[in-house]
Amino acid sequence: MPTAALRSTVNRIRITPVTQATESSPVAPIKTQCSSCHLRDLCLPCGMNGNDLDRLDSMMFARRKVKAGQTLYREGDRFQYIYAVRAGTLKSSLMLSDGREQVSGFHIAGELVGLDGVAQGHHASATMALEDTEICAIPYAHLSELAVGASGMQHVISRLMSREILREHSLMMLLGSMNAEERLAAFLLNLSQRYAARGYSEREFHLRMSRAEIGSYLGMKLETVSRTFSAFQNQRLLEVDKRHILITDLEGLKRRFEVRVH
Amino acid sequence: MPTAALRSTVNRIRITPVTQATESSPVAPIKTQCSSCHLRDLCLPCGMNGNDLDRLDSMMFARRKVKAGQTLYREGDRFQYIYAVRAGTLKSSLMLSDGREQVSGFHIAGELVGLDGVAQGHHASATMALEDTEICAIPYAHLSELAVGASGMQHVISRLMSREILREHSLMMLLGSMNAEERLAAFLLNLSQRYAARGYSEREFHLRMSRAEIGSYLGMKLETVSRTFSAFQNQRLLEVDKRHILITDLEGLKRRFEVRVH
DNA sequence: CGAGTAGTTGACATCTCTCAATGCCGGTGG
DNA sequence: CCACCGGCATTGAGAGATGTCAACTACTCG
């Protein structure tokens, strides 16, 4: 049962000091082919034809485990890989020179991370695991080399980047013109959709991020996030218990807060 | 003198009802080659080698004039072209279903617009001219066809898209974790840099957008924008006269408000 | 000259932030 | 086994920033 699977994962506290995942682990990494991956319709190969998929399979991406609290890459790190999330949850964030952090995204299974590095050859954000997570490391140079002459594959990559632009568009919208309730509702509805697309419950899930992380992502303080959760609960839209969320009135939540872009 | 050139343009009020620029103007459009363009080091061909530049020249982009107030494309329009700004200023914006608008960017000479259409085959935002503007229309399908087999060209396109992601990153940062003064300062410093890169004054320029448009972009109300301008003036950082801006203490502005991402 | 748009400014309302107290939970060490 | 500690979440009270509404000016256009 999908929901149970989501919940059964230990709500692991990040006690480990923030450490960098070792580039090359002592054991030879497991290699994976996209065509046999259960996430193939959501992830990188989505939209590729058989020919392109064969090319992709020839790459045999290395899998890597990232423990809760470890970083996948930091700001300024040389850009070599993009990463596909196989299981778990990641957060990406940007830092201002004075130390303020802005969470720029949360990433779950089937999503890609790291495309911001293409422009400058180094990563502009940092990405950290919020729970024990498994990723495929996709060497970007190799990938784009492989895509030379394969127009289908090239288009897929371009579309992925453009999708990233759209994702940021909606976050801008949210940050620029929505109040606290709208922000949190948009966030929950977005998560709900993404879980639903992966076969999990759209009504019940476990948040992998703290109130402070949600707040940073949504441009508000953790106390305001907490208060807004309580407000939704009073309005009978949700039942909240720490990080466990049950949406009791999904339609109501949508009707009142789903603000589609056009 | 660059600054004079900037100021001499009539501060044209958008009286025209918002109309769509006709796809095919009655007269045959002027065609242009990138290699002979004075913006070549800022624009699409930036970073391309001679070979790739030749390919690009073979495309002979059509130029088009867009009058102040006219739209280049609207949300939902079929995505066919990306556009390079030759002269003038554009704004891009997103719309919520309830009519709220969020300005997502301002674009000046040498900048590219429309990459958000790649993901879904239609534009997710609308783009309008803030003054009489001239653009090159770059047929995207043709461009990416041409890039097949030309790895250099492909990389340039990917880098452009990634740059767009970075641009949005910094806007998110701004919207998510900065107060009114920081937002407006970041906006002015960003504009200043972009003008400077084009050989215009970094201290003195003419805003092409209204207070409301600045406010929408920065996630604040027009009155707050206006008050913040006045505050900067009182702090002897700027001299403001409507849309004419003179930065009297650029270093001071930077020192206090330039918040670099890492 | 009158109407309309853009910008500025003041007074007040509202929302979110700040600071502080409290509770809960899991892990650790006596 | 239990007490204690640290991290996370919730809640309250008051402060501060920004939004709202309204008045007024300057300017342009017809």
pTM of this prediction?
A: 0.89
What CA–CA distance (Å, rounded) separates B194 from B105? 13
In this model, does residue B14 exceed pLDDT 70? no
CATH of the domain at A195: 1.10.10.10
Q: Which of B163, B192, B223 is the last residue of a domain?
A: B163
- Is residue A133 assigned to a domain? yes
Mutate to test the interface with B, among A96, A151, A222 (most CBs of B within 10 A): A96
Instruction: Report if residue B57 sits inside a domain.
Output: yes
B158 and B39 share a domain?
A: yes
| Same domain assignment for residues A13 and A137 | yes
Domain count, chain B: 2
Asked whether residue B130 falls in the same domain as residue B81, the answer is: yes
Q: How far is Cα B73 from Cα B159, in angstroms, rounded to an integer? A: 23
* Overall size of chain A counted in residues: 262
In 3-state terms chain A splits into helix, strand, coil percentages (rounded to 5) of: 40, 25, 40
Domain termination residue (choose one: B163, B190, B212): B163
Given a contact cutoff of 8 angstroms between Cβ atoms, the answer to whether B86 and B134 are in contact is yes
Same domain, A121 and A26: yes
Look up residue B84 and give its two tokens: 């390079």
Any idea which residue has 């982009």 for tokens? B61
Q: What count of other Cβ atoms lies within 10 Å of the Cβ of residue B78? A: 10
Same domain, A55 and A137: yes
Domain assignment present for A202: yes
CA/C1' separation A166–D11 (Å): 37
Task: For residue B27, name the pLDDT band (cuts at 50, 70, 90).
Answer: low
Q: What is the CATH number of the domain that holds A28?
A: 2.60.120.10
Put simply, whether B219 touches A (Cβ < 8 Å) is yes
Domain boundary among A133, A163, A193: A163
User: Looking at the structure, do residues A37 and A157 belong to the same domain, yes or no?
Assistant: yes
The neighbour count for residue B8, using CB atoms within 10 Å, is 9
Do B42 and B198 contact (CB within 8 A), yes or no?
yes
Taking residues B200-228, report their average pLDDT: 97
Residues B229 and B134 in one domain: no
DSSP B23: S
Over residues B138-164, the mean pLDDT reads 90
* Separation of A226 CA and C23 C1' (Å): 15
Q: Is the CB of B226 under 7 A from strand C?
A: yes
- Give the closest residue to A158 by CA, choosing from B82, B45, B91: B82
Interface check A28 vs B, CB under 8 A: no
Cβ of A148 within 8 Å of Cβ of B149? The answer is yes
Which of A94, A100, A179, A189 would you mutate first to test chain B, the one with the most B CBs within 10 A?
A: A94
Binning pLDDT at 50, 70 and 90, where does residue B12 land? very low
CA distance B195 to chain A (A): 21
A155–B contact, CB cutoff 8 A: yes
How many whole angstroms separate alpha carbon B166 and alpha carbon B146? 26
The region, left, alpha or beta by phi > 0 then psi within -120 to 50, assigned to residue B46 is beta
| Side-by-side strand order, sheet with A238-241 | A204-206, A244-247, A238-241
Instruction: Show residues of chain B in contact with A97, CB under 8 Å.
Output: 259-262
Q: Is residue B48 in a domain?
A: yes
Task: With CA atoms as reference, report the closest residue to A142 among A97, A193, A82, A195.
Answer: A82
In a domain, residue A125? The reply is yes
What Rg do the C-alpha atoms of chain A give, in angstroms? 19
Kindly state whether residues A211 and A242 are assigned to the same domain. yes
Q: Are strands A126-129 and A238-241 parallel, antiparallel or unpaired?
A: unpaired
Is the CB of A226 within 7 Å of strand C?
Answer: no
Segments of chain A scoring below 50 in pLDDT: 1-19, 22-26, 262
CA distance B4 to B132: 17
What whole-number distance in Å separates Cα of residue A206 and Cα of residue B190? 40
Q: Is the pLDDT reported for residue B158 higher than 50?
A: yes
| Whether residue B225 sits in one domain with residue B140 | no
Taking the C1' atom of every nucleotide in all shown strands and the CA of A14, the nearest one is D7
Range of the domain at A123: 3-163
